[in-house]
Structures are given as C-alpha cells and as structure tokens.
Amino acid sequence: MVKAETIYAGCVVIGEAGILIRGGPKTGKSTLARELVFHANQACMFARLVSDDRTRIEPCGSRLVVRPVPPIEGQIEVRGVGIMAVSFEKAAVLRLVIDLFPEDPPRYPEEAEAQAVLCGVLLPRLASRTGTPLSDVVLSRLRV
C-alpha cells in the first residue's frame, strides 16, 4: 500500500483540477502559483491556492488528493514582500504536474517525460524553465 507523503512543492486548484508545481529553491513555484490563480480568475474560472512550499499527497483509490501542510496553510511567499495570507482550498484532486528548472528542458520532450508518477499514480506533466509564461498552456490543457 502506498502511503501519503509531504513533498517540497506548491499546488493550486483551477476548476476541479489540482496542479502541483515542483522545483528547487528559487525556481518560481510561488510566482507561478500566483500567476495561474490570477489568469484563471481573469478567465472567469474558479482558482485558488491549495499549498505553498510543502504539499501533502494522499493516495485515494486511483487518484491523488493534495492538501496544505497545517503550519503554513493559507500562506504564500512573495519574494521581496514576505509571507502573505491568502484564500486557500483545503484539498484538491491532482490532475497535472509542472516541473520548473533553472535551465531549458528538452525542446521536444519524449513521451515518458510528459508524465510523472507520484505515489504510484501516473499524471500528465509539463516541464519548463523558470520564468517561462505558462498560464495560457496550463489553462488550455485544463479545457481539453
């Protein structure tokens, strides 16, 4: 049986889709989370933060439920400003994984690179360089 785990990542929910944002320190996870919520709201879609910096992943049948870690739930770091309190969701079903890197990922990823396995569950994955505008790509993926 696969157990729940806490990972270094942030998560937002857009509509009913949880989007996990992974990356090392200073790769823009929090910035991307804020941008995704902003652009989804501008497109009249429900969007809210689930977690920032640390995310709890729990297998639930063939799905993964993501939750914030209680000591930091409802908070997001804004570089140059500090920690801010924000509206948040207590859980979401994970539908997409985004990995951020300081360097460019392959221009045309192999099929295996377009997927991620978390807690034994296969999910679609996007890989991108830090700072690359992704909101339009993510929102279009969610509309399909």
Q: In angstroms, what CA-CA distances link 14 with 24, 67, 139, 141?
A: 23, 14, 8, 11
- Look at residue 34 in the predicted model and tell me its pLDDT: 95
Higher pLDDT, 12 or 140: 12
Coil, strand or helix: which one is 28?
Answer: coil
Is residue 73 packed enough to be buried (19+ CB in 10 Å), middle (13-18) or exposed (0-12)? Answer: middle
| DSSP H/E element including 132 | none
Output the CA torsion sign for 90, 61, 141, 79.
Answer: positive
User: Which band of pLDDT confidence, cut at 50, 70 and 90, is reported for residue 142?
Assistant: confident
Domain spans, the chain: 5-139
Q: What is the pLDDT of residues 77-129, one digit of tens each?
A: 998 899 999 999 999 999 999 999 988 888 888 888 889 999 989 999 999 99
Alpha-carbon distance of 104 to 88, in angstroms, equals: 31
5-139: CATH topology is Rossmann fold (3.40.50)
Is pLDDT at 144 greater than 90 in this prediction?
A: no
SS3 state at 75: strand
